């Protein structure tokens, strides 16, 4: 049974889920902490027996956690490389930093040569 800190609780042993501390209440009282502190009512024997079970669950699911993390890493690398390739292939056809001021003179000279050859 979960109980929040600062609330009235019956007598018993309560374990803080955040830091693992144990609170023993000999009679009904208020649990320490604020509303963000969560306590579970369990005997010491229950907590000691839960440790190996939780360890076994962690050991069983550890390979799946590793596989999921590897897949996420590879997918992230693929998405980054596709995004950079897409961004690299996009171009404006002009560069805003460059002025291209020499292009007009050449066009005027080319027009002048065309007009001379026609005459």
> Is residue 59 predicted with pLDDT exceeding 80?
yes
Identify whether the C-beta of residue 25 lies closer than 8 Å to the C-beta of residue 11: yes
Residue 89: the pLDDT is 75
What would the mean pLDDT of 103-114 be, rounded to a whole number? 72
**The pair of three-digit structure tokens given for residue 103, joined into one six-digit string:** 């292009």
Give 6's pLDDT tier (boundaries 50, 70, 90).
confident
Name, in order, each residue with C-beta under 8 angstroms of 94's C-beta and a sequence gap of 6 or more: 100
- Of 39, 3, 47, 7, residue with least CA distance to 23: 39
> Is residue 90 predicted with pLDDT exceeding 80?
no
Query: Alpha helices, DSSP H only, in the chain?
Result: 44-89, 103-118
pTM of the full predicted structure? 0.46
């Amino acid at each position: 049974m979960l109980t929040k800190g600062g609330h009235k609780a019956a007598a018993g042993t309560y374990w803080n889920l955040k830091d693992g501390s144990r609170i023993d209440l000999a009679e009904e009282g208020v649990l320490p902490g604020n509303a963000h502190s969560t306590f579970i009512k369990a005997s010491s024997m229950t907590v000691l027996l839960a440790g190996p079970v939780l360890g076994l669950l962690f050991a069983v699911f550890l390979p799946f956690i590793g596989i999921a993390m590897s897949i996420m890493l590879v997918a992230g690398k693929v998405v980054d490389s596709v995004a950079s390739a897409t961004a690299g292939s996009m171009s404006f056809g002009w560069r805003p930093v460059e002025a291209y001021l020499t292009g007009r003179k050449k066009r005027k000279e080319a027009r002048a040569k065309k007009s001379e050859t026609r005459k």
